[in-house]
Amino acid sequence: MILLETNNRVVEETLTVKIKSAQAGLKNESIDITVSDFDGVLYHISNLNGDKTKIRISISLKFYKELQEHGADQLLKREYGPLLAAPEDGYNVSILFDLENIPTDWPQVIKKIGLLKRNCFASVFEKYFDFQENGDEGQKRAVIHYRDDETMYVEAKADRVTVVFSTRFRDEDDVVIGKVFMQELKEGLRASHTAPPVLFSHREPPRELQNTDAKVDNNVGYVTFVLFPRHTARTTRDNTIDLIHMFRHYLHYHIKCSKAYIHSRMRAKTSDFLKVLNRARPENKSTDKKTITYRNCFASVFEKYFDFQENGDEGQKRAVIHYRDDETMYVEAKADRVTVVFSTRFRDEDDVVIGKVFMQELKEGLRASHTAPPVLFSHREPPRELQNTDAKVDNNVGYVTFVLFPRHTARTTRDNTIDLIHMFRHYLHYHIKCSKAYIHSRMRAKTSDFLKVLNRARPENKSTDKKTITGRTFVRRD
């Protein structure tokens, strides 16, 4: 897995192919490609006025007017000079590359073109880094609406530059995993003497944005970077800009990866569970088991209500077993089924989210099985079977309902059913703990990789003229 690249690889590779073809004397072909990038940015690569030797690269940023207020036009003139052309209709900036006049250092030029979005963003950072360097702290805070409902704020003081990103999480699952990631990042920063402090606040904006129009929302988070002179110095600022302006995407990328892992892991465990559940065979009659165990104590309840169902005796009172503090099991028999409901208490909202993912995957797996019993899950509110009872209503309480039909309660299969049902609560919480442990270890590893790059803030060798940071810089070498 890699740290996300700052440059646009598609743009670079497209231009590289065109240049190499021209150098090889091949016929120039027309081109018309639209490339997407983060933050709703679009690139358009085409021929100018149908001339196949002239390639125009245009970029569209919804927030470019806000960047212009902070010197974006001047920075692009400095970086691209004569390559700049009149902007294409519907785009903010255009660069023109002539295949009949290819410069000797064309690989470096292509790298620089691939960094066009990054360089547009850089204008804001460089402006406020200069304010801090000159001790000019009376300047108005920069506000860049870089995505719908997401904003970047930059403010300079005499001794620091504060950068705040607001970011919107799609759902509560993303909030939980994002908070885990940021907690691991904070832990990693404690071991570093050069990395900038990073703060995270959920729902409420940080102190720097008090008395502003910053949103207060359960699905909004704020990431704050405090950059000191060692991070904004001219020898290190390029590396700082590369990392800071990509951090939002880095965070959401790893949230998606973590969710994908949890789903795949739960799907695999659900498959294993179904294999056992479907292995309902009569016990060997020659086996004589007389030892009283924890399982056998539980079995007395199940067998009693399985017999009620078998005999059609459905008027019996529901069994209520308080098997743990604040956790209860309910068993009820009908003529055609036995319903078993477990209430379970989750330790925190992280457990709730992972538990809901697990139960969703279990339900998906059950759809493919013709013999497994239906399993239902409800969060906070008790299921219909427990309406008008003293069942708890709580944000950290969930209810797991098994509907057992005669094929599950028959004397030839009931032992296997009891084995699985009475252990299901522990099975669920065991995999919640395993998933949380994995997420923490994964985020810790990714935080370590991020800090290694963040700490590589050194003055460049004066004998080497390096103005761009390539994607290779960010590849983690195993």
Closest CA to 395 of 437, 363, 353: 353
pLDDT tens-place string over residues 242-261 = 999 999 999 999 899 888 88
Together in a domain, 179 and 209: yes
Both 420 and 382 in one domain: the answer is: yes
Instruction: Name the token pair of 263.
Output: 């789903």
Is the CB of residue 341 less than 8 Å from the CB of residue 383? Answer: yes
| pLDDT band with cut points at 50, 70 and 90 for residue 475 | very low
How many C-alpha atoms does 287 have within 13 Å on its Cβ side? 5
Q: Which residue has the tokens 């390029």?
A: 238
Tens of pLDDT, residues 431-444: 888 888 877 777 77
Look-up of token digits 């995993």: 177
Banded model confidence at residue 281, pLDDT cuts 50, 70, 90: low
Nearest CA-CA partner of 57 in 78, 90, 27, 33: 33
Q: Are residue 93 and residue 146 in the same domain, yes or no?
A: no
Domain of 27, in residue numbers: 9-129
The answer to whether residues 296 and 429 belong to one domain is yes
pLDDT at residue 84 greater than cutoff 90: yes
Structure tokens at 311: 């005999």
What's the whole-model pTM score? Answer: 0.67
Round to the nearest angstrom and report the end-to-end CA distance of the chain: 10
The DSSP letter of residue 183 is H
Q: How far apart are CA 370 and CA 175, in angstroms?
A: 36
Same domain assignment for residues 110 and 160:
no
**Whether residue 194 sits in one domain with residue 164:** yes
Looking at 47-56, 219-228, 325-334, 384-393, which range is the least confident one?
384-393
Q: Which of 65, 97, 129 is the last residue of a domain?
A: 129
Q: What is the mean pLDDT of residues 83-97?
A: 97
Rounded Cα gap, residues 303 and 300, in angstroms: 5
pLDDT of residue 469: 41
The Cα–Cα gap between 411 and 423 comes to 19
Domain count, the chain: 3
What are the backbone dihedrals phi and psi of residue 181, each rounded to the nearest 5 degrees, phi first? Answer: -60, -45
Question: Residue 110 class from Cβ within 10 Å (0-12 exposed, 13-18 middle, 19+ buried)?
Answer: buried
The region of weakest confidence among 61-75, 184-198, 333-347 is: 184-198
Beta bridge partners of 376: 401
pLDDT digits (tens, 9 = 90+) for 133-171: 999 888 999 999 999 999 999 999 999 999 999 999 988
Residue 45 and residue 11 in contact, taking contact as beta carbons nearer than 8 Å: yes
Q: Are residues 118 and 140 in the same domain?
A: no
Reduced to 3 states (helix: H, G, I; strand: E, B; else coil), residue 234 is coil
Q: Is 24 exposed, middle or buried (0-12, 13-18, 19+ CB in 10 A)?
A: exposed
d(CA 34, CA 42): 7
Say whether both 411 and 299 belong to one domain.
Answer: yes
Residues 139 and 201 in one domain: yes
Give 2's pLDDT tier (boundaries 50, 70, 90).
low
Write the CATH number for 54: 3.30.1460.20
286 falls within a domain: no
325, 427: one domain: yes
For residue 212, give both structure tokens.
């502003």
